[in-house]
Amino acid sequence: MLDEPSTWVGATARDIARAVRRGDATATQVVADHLDYIQAQDATLNAFRVVRAAAAITEAEAVDEQEDLANLPLAGVPVAVKENTSVAGLPTWYGSAAARAGVADADHEVVRRLRGAGAVVVGTTRMPELGLWALTDDETAVTRNPWRTDPRAARPAARRLRWPPDWYRSHTATTGSARSAFRPRAAGWSGSSRAAGWCPRTCRSRTGSA
């Protein structure tokens, strides 16, 4: 077994999944590292609407207990989900208290598939109201740019940090947040957009879907 790094924060999704599958790391430790980092940083940045700390640790432990880790392409990878995508047990905010949906009784199909691949949802991230603006703020908080926290630089923050290594956003941002705002590979993370014909838009399971 290889020596574990002092923290898994900053590791790529590929490196994390490979380490967990090989037994060089546990999903529980990887998720705990990211939760500690989120706790230390998010009081200033307000990138997350909800952090699922206890639930994420429980789900990471369940990943570690599985016998088929070799078949989990995202084994132990922490994932943050944009708050207009349903996560079971959480309300779906759409960046707006007025438009907030009730507590979801099921995961969106994309979230279901992420979990099925071994990923662990650590929380939901804030978004501009209804995806209409370039800034993320509401009556509860203003999301800050971690590189420049003054109000003039308030921008979506979770993706600019090194955590989590993977995140999911739906195709709503008017400014092309996952595709054109910066080069994701240089930041060491990956993102996916719910584009037509690529990622499913509904929570309904499809026969034979992966």
Q: Provide the pairing of β-strand 190-193 with 120-125.
A: unpaired
Cβ contact 164:68 at 8 Å = no
Total number of residues shown for the chain: 210
Region 99-128 average pLDDT: 91
Contact 13, 77 (CB under 8 A): yes
**pLDDT the model gives residue 64:** 97
State phi, psi for 12 to the nearest 5 degrees.
Answer: -75, 160
In the block, tokens 């308030």 appear at 154
As a whole number of Å, the end-to-end CA separation of the chain is 31
Question: pLDDT tens digits, residue range 119-144?
Answer: 999 999 988 877 777 777 777 888 88
Cα–Cα distance measured from residue 201 to residue 171, given in angstroms and rounded to the nearest whole number: 10
What are 160-181's pLDDT values in tens digits?
Answer: 555 566 555 554 444 444 443 3
Topology at the third CATH level for domain 13-193: Amidase signature (AS) enzymes (3.90.1300)
Mean pLDDT of 40-50: 91
Name the more confident of 137 and 63.
63
CA atoms within 13 A on the CB side of 103: 4
What was the pLDDT predicted at 130?
A: 77
- The DSSP code sequence of 132-176 is -SSS-B-SS-B--BTTB-SGGG----GGGSS-SSEEEE-TT-TT-
Q: According to the model, what pLDDT value does residue 148 have?
A: 77
**Which pair of tokens denotes residue 189?**
């993370």
Whether pTM exceeds 0.85: no
Round the average pLDDT of the chain to a whole number and report it.
78
Q: Which residues pair with 169 in a beta bridge?
A: 193
Lowest mean pLDDT among 22-36, 111-125, 172-186: 172-186
Residue position matching structure tokens 């998010």:
42
Tell me what percent of the residues of the chain surpass a pLDDT of 90: 45
pLDDT at 73: 96
Query: 48-51 and 120-125 as β-strands: parallel, antiparallel, unpaired?
Result: antiparallel
Residue tagged 């959480």 (tokens): 90
Higher pLDDT, 120 or 201: 120
